[in-house]
Structure 1
């Protein structure tokens, strides 16, 4: 009997142990499921939405390449191409909001029509970093969560003018090929009404005039920051027998288009016929053209610095970190300085 009781006690004890274990497992399962449900409601990663005005723009493409390579692997970056269509960019803004983006970066198609993007940002209380194409100060100040990352267009125009002036005043360059005491020039301008294009053009020319250089404008071509359009415009001027001693381009793509035009028209003799050509941006293609001595100089627009500044600001906004050490000016602006690039220092930037 004692042995039977002992065996029954043992079985009863085992059953209690099994029940206890099962209860513990159930509690753990409920706990784990509860954590899972909680986490599913929380964001597992930071999401940054980006809309660029046109992915065919070389500078923007290289800036975004740097932005993506600089981003942390656990941060999701979703990029949209507006294709120069403001309505499409407005739709992309809604898509990024609906997609749960913590911060949205906008490279405006039209700086004069940001109303819908601003209204959406205000309605959903989402931070927006505008970059490269600057909206008006009044629009930027509509929210303390609006920022602009870019450069100073006036500075780039002045530096381009200084580069050209230094070469013109250097007797060894002989830019005044017809020796008439004036420089016949063409301005390759970006989009009509585009603030940066207007400012770059204006200050480049003013700087040359302030340097006591006599100018004779033989062409003003709107080429929309586009290489192919610039080539077409310059070829038209070449074929019209226009005397061109200097070409000032608002960006490197248009400067490269001017070079393409001379190569296409003159072939192997292109360098002999080519005027002094200057760009702005310091794209890889522009730097290579300086290295090959097709272009005299460009103004380096710090795409790496802008990409890093934009990303660091986005992360700080998404995580609530302090913005104190990000170099923000007037509560809304981060501007990166330009640098003059010539044959003397091009390798420092081409192979950095």
Structure 2
């Protein structure tokens, strides 16, 4: 009788050992399984915008770094709204239907941001806007809506600073007709875009505040694009009897349009040209002397900020760990002046 009990005890102990080992192997196998990828849907207002495409490339490049840092797979689905709010609305609806973890939007029409935020809130999907800033009251209606970008006022002020510092160092290179003023033309982005309006106003105000006299000869709305800006510049070079002394552009693409116009419609000496964004071609134009300078908007830093926020919000992690700091749902990336001037 006693031996039977011993055999029975040994049997159950062996069985327990088998289940323990099986459970351990199962746990180890689960640990080796890849985590479910974090799905991030990105909608661009216009994929052929040079600056926006550079942010898109930076997102793709930074993704692998963030995957390694967070030990979390990420998938990016980047779509082009082709400057159509209707198309963008459909893209956001698609992200929601497919249960994406985070929605990232470079919004076509900032006045529609409230509707997009409402949709995201209902679906409980964090939404991150970038480059084209929503109206503040719309953004703050939900604490899981964020904006990543650079301040338009800062870029305009720096552009003006770039001009007046160069003018004070050597007025003759600007005042080609000797009248004590800078005759300038302004290439503006979209007519109702807040960044365009702010950059236009603050760049000139910065120059005037430094005590430099200016006179505007013309303005043209180039919609951030090179070709219409080239056409404006070609027209102005033929139109005015006096030389154009300065070209202020709301972005580098339009500034490069002015550069191209000057290559065919000669003015000697040529006007000084300044842009904003720090695109690859913009920086090259500064380096080879075709532009006086540009204002760098750090696309890599923007991409890092977007992905840091995407991870933190989707995983319920504290956003206070993100650098630079998120303040009141805004993550601001500072601008920098780029010029070859000493």
Q: Scaled by the length of structure 2, what TM-score is found?
A: 0.85
SS in 2 for 1:191: coil
Structure 2 counterpart of 1:286, from 278, 282, 287: 282
Relative to 1, partners in 2 of residues 1:71 and 1:131: Cα closer, same or farther, differing over 3 Å? Answer: same
Q: Tell me what 1:295 maps to.
A: 291
* 2:262 equivalent to 1:262: yes
Q: Is the 8 A contact 2:320 2:326 kept in 1?
A: no
Q: Tell me what 1:55 maps to.
A: 47
Q: Is the 8 A contact 1:262 1:273 kept in 2?
A: no
Deviation at 1:122, TM superposition (A): 1.9
SS in 1 for 2:148: strand
Max Rg structure: 1
Structure 2 counterpart of 1:334, from 307, 331, 334: 331
How many residues were matched structurally?
Answer: 309
Deviation at 1:172, TM superposition (A): 6.4
Aligned-residue CA RMSD (Å): 2.3
Deviation at 1:99, TM superposition (A): 2.1
Deviation at 1:328, TM superposition (A): 3.8
* 2:240 equivalent to 1:232: no
Q: Tell me what 1:244 maps to.
A: 244
| Alpha-carbon distance in structure 2 between the residues aligned to 1:335 and 1:114 | 19
SS in 2 for 1:56: coil
| Alpha-carbon distance in structure 2 between the residues aligned to 1:139 and 1:342 | 37
* 2:27 equivalent to 1:45: no
Q: Tell me what 1:3 maps to.
A: none
Deviations 1:13-36 (A, max 9, x none): xxxxxxxxxxx9xxx9xxx9xx99
Runs of 4+ in 1 over 6 A off after TM superposition: none
Q: Is the 8 A contact 1:167 1:173 kept in 2?
A: no
* 2:59 equivalent to 1:67: yes
Q: Scaled by the length of structure 1, what TM-score is found?
A: 0.83
| Alpha-carbon distance in structure 1 between the residues aligned to 2:128 and 2:298 | 17
Q: Write the mapping of 1:170-319 to structure 2, written as runs, cut at 5 A.
A: 170-171=169-170, 174-241=173-240, 243-266=243-266, 272-319=268-315
Q: Is the 8 A contact 1:46 1:75 kept in 2?
A: yes
Deviation at 1:220, TM superposition (A): 1.1
Relative to 1, partners in 2 of residues 1:328 and 1:171: Cα closer, same or farther, differing over 3 Å? Answer: closer
SS in 1 for 2:265: helix
Q: Is the 8 A contact 1:188 1:249 kept in 2?
A: yes
Gapped regions of structure 1 (runs ≥ 5): 1-23, 346-352
Deviation at 1:273, TM superposition (A): 4.0
SS in 1 for 2:42: strand
| Alpha-carbon distance in structure 1 between the residues aligned to 2:162 and 2:116 | 38
| Alpha-carbon distance in structure 2 between the residues aligned to 1:173 and 1:179 | 8
| Alpha-carbon distance in structure 1 between the residues aligned to 2:331 and 2:63 | 19
| Alpha-carbon distance in structure 2 between the residues aligned to 1:148 and 1:218 | 36
Deviation at 1:113, TM superposition (A): 2.2
Relative to 1, partners in 2 of residues 1:173 and 1:289: Cα closer, same or farther, differing over 3 Å? Answer: farther
| Alpha-carbon distance in structure 1 between the residues aligned to 2:93 and 2:264 | 45
SS in 1 for 2:207: helix
Q: Is the 8 A contact 1:249 1:280 kept in 2?
A: yes
